Structure 1
Amino acid sequence: MKALILGDRNAPNLIDGAVLETMIAGVRARFEADALAARFGGPIHAGEIKSFPVVDGAADPDKVAAALDQVALYILLTRQLVDDLGGDPGLVSGTAMLITPKNVGLTPTLSIRDVTKRVARMGRLVMSIPNAGEIVAAVPAATTFNTIANEQLDAQHRLDTLHALADHIGTDYTSSCLSTCGNARFCRERAFRDGLLCLSGPQTVRLLPGVHSLGRAAELSAGAPPSVPEAPVATLLARAGRLYDDAVSAPQLNRAKR
């Protein structure tokens, strides 16, 4: 990486399996990018190889979005690394290189996407993750799963205990949980009860980091004062709210003029 930053002609054009580090929630985390690519005098690109196919020019939008978010994180971390080494973070391109199979064959196909906004959003998301120690400290010391796991106890008592535990530690429901987890319906019920953002799908969750419920998103779109974690997306929500109000009121104004 130092050779790339210094513009060394002998610097590698491809770094396979680059390991990138950062601090997340007070814990050092490592991520392995499929590849970092560069040519002499050009920018550094982050690339990712995925197995889902592009059929007739289209791919699963959720999988594409998740892959682009993944590359956006690699770009963010690579820029941090370049900065730590004394280089210009702008040397790292804001475009993602995504390699996927074409149609039903195994022909690798390269697509290049601008993920500048995703990189900025990923930066806000990483910064908004609470410290792991704070999360642990918020869980009561007497917390235990023994009551829930004891099948000899009353079922309603076990369910009430599970709800009480979830009130403290939370849940993280997604639609894919239904096919992989026996507690998915429990978490889905709580998501509906609390109007959680996950009900609108993973794309909405990715677009609104720091906002935890649909009701709160509606409040921010109406101009409610945001908290610090909500501030980056509050402006966008308020703008969307104004555009929606204008679109709804326009037909009424036209009818009034008639």
Structure 2
Amino acid sequence: MSSYPPAAPPRKTTLRQRLADLRGPAVPPRPLDARSLAALAANPGCGRRALLDGAGVDKGALATALGSPAAFGQSQFAIVRGNSFEAKVKGDGGAELLRLAHARLGGAAEPPGPDARVPDLTAAGPEGRAARTALALREATAAGAWTLLDHPMLALEVAGSPAYLEPDAVVVDPDGRWTVVEIKSFPMIDGAADSAKVGSAARQAAVYVLALEGTARKVAGAEVGHRVVLVCPKDFSNLPTAALVDVRRERSVTRRQLDRLTRVEELAARLPEGLSFDPARTAGELAEAVSAVGAAYAPECLAACELAFHCRERAREAGEVSALGRSVRGELGGLTTVEAALAAAAGAGPADDPTAAALRQAARLRAEALERPPGPGPLGEDACPC
């Protein structure tokens, strides 16, 4: 009989440890923000982005290490201009911001006076700041007074992990309504701003609204407004003006998309042991690690994800039709590669497949339009398979 003690069972790795291993031993987690959440919700089928964001991986550093750095982001000038305008709007204890909020929100509440509350939200760490913000919201609702929360911290569960979000401001009016305030440096000319920029701000604000609703459920008499106050420079000046933006549609879409996200622990459990996205590893090792997680690339990713150029290159190498756009991918149904689509257009597809029949018809119509029979390629000899 052996005198050696029995071997200790292997220690079970917790989710926090697993995510830390994925990032790398010396890499701190990169927190999610509303901008990245809005982009994540726009592509819920991408497990790659869900895992990397949930694990706190710095996708920008990862893309650089892979040799496909991201080529988008705000310029330093735009950041400085935005910070300067926000400081101007919030000056004098937020008096101008509260005035603009009252003017746009209306209601029976009295205008904010000099006794408006601006609570201190300082606390240790994001968890402490989120708890301090929740307490300040409860106190403001109970007090029934105008209150401005400057850069509060809100918590929202995303794919099983908490995300801490920091809106520009939240205003609480005497009726107990909580309203998100978004401060942007793009101009509002004759009462209207660039629709694409307003849409981006609305999607970002919708994430804050969802996070506020989670806190409001625990506070009696609280109500979260689905119209956010958008503050921008007026015309070509630096004077602030405001408009109300209804985000109910964006809120519903974001909620539905976030609910569809696969939980981070499920994605992490499918990965082999030892896999890591540590930027200190070689490009070959990182490419192999990234390819182990399924992606759902679309051209829209180029404006929202740091890994988009890497994913586009891989999608093109594999001949995926998703590289041509979501609309094309949806029209082609079960034909997931360019090669399969061209073969179907040449007549190699199933006879009873309506998609293949439509492609064959398109090839015939093109040949007739060019007044010549199709060449070696299914769409003619000068056809471009890209």
- Quickly name the TM-score band, shorter chain normalised: 0.5 to 0.7
Of 256, 274, 279, the residue aligned with 1:124 is 256
**Which has the larger displacement, 135-144 or 66-75?**
135-144
1:17 alignment partner in structure 2: 151
Question: Post-superposition shift, 1:31?
Answer: 0.6
Identity of aligned residues (%): 24
Offset from partner CA, 1:61-82 (integer Å, 9 cap, x none): 3322121111111112112101
Partner of 2:171: 37
1:36 to 1:101, Cα distance in 2 relative to 1, 3 A: same
Equivalent position SS for 2:200: helix
Q: How many residues align?
A: 194
Q: Which residue of 1 aligns with 2:270?
A: 138
1:79-94, aligned counterparts within 5 Å?
79-85=213-219, 87-88=220-221, 91-94=223-226
Partner of 1:53: 187
User: What is the TM-score with the length of structure 2 in the denominator?
Assistant: 0.42
Q: Is the 8 A contact 2:161 2:264 kept in 1?
A: yes
Letter in 1 for 2:187: P
Q: Which has the higher contact order (CA 8 A, sep 6+)?
A: 2
User: What's the CA shift string for 1:23-44, capped at 9, x where partnerless?
Assistant: 2122121111211113212522
Among 226, 232, 239, which residue is 1:100 paired with?
Answer: 232
User: Any idea what SS the aligned residue of 1:135 has?
Assistant: helix
Q: Which has the larger radius of gyration?
A: 2
Per-residue CA deviation, residues 138-197 of structure 1 (Å, 9 max, x unaligned), is: 2333646799626xxxxxxx9xx948943634265623379997637515637972426x
CA distance in 1, matches of 2:319, 2:330: 12
Counterparts of 1:82 and 1:177 in 2: how far apart (Å)? 30
Q: Is the 8 A contact 2:188 2:232 kept in 1?
A: yes
Change (3 A) 1:79 1:180: closer
1:183 counterpart SS class: helix
What is the CA-CA distance between 1:111 and the residue it aligns to? 1.2
- Asked if residue 215 in structure 1 is aligned to residue 330 in structure 2, the reply is yes
How much has 1:122 moved relative to structure 2? 1.9
Cα RMSD, aligned residues only: 3.9
Q: Is the 8 A contact 2:297 2:312 kept in 1?
A: no
Structure 1 residues 58 and 38: alpha-carbon distance in aligned structure 2, compared to 1, 3 A threshold? same
Relative distance call for 1:192 and 1:100 in structure 2 (3 A) is farther
Structure 2: stretches of 5+ with no match in the other structure: 1-136, 335-386
| Corresponding residue of 1:183 | 310
Give the 5 Å matches for 1:227-246: none
1:168 aligned to 2:300? no
**Taking structure 1 as reference, are residues 97 and 113 closer, same or farther at Cα in structure 2, changes over 3 Å only?**
same
**Residue deviations 1:86-112 (CA, integer Å, cap 9, x gap):** x256x1111011111233322212010
Counterpart AA for 1:183 = H
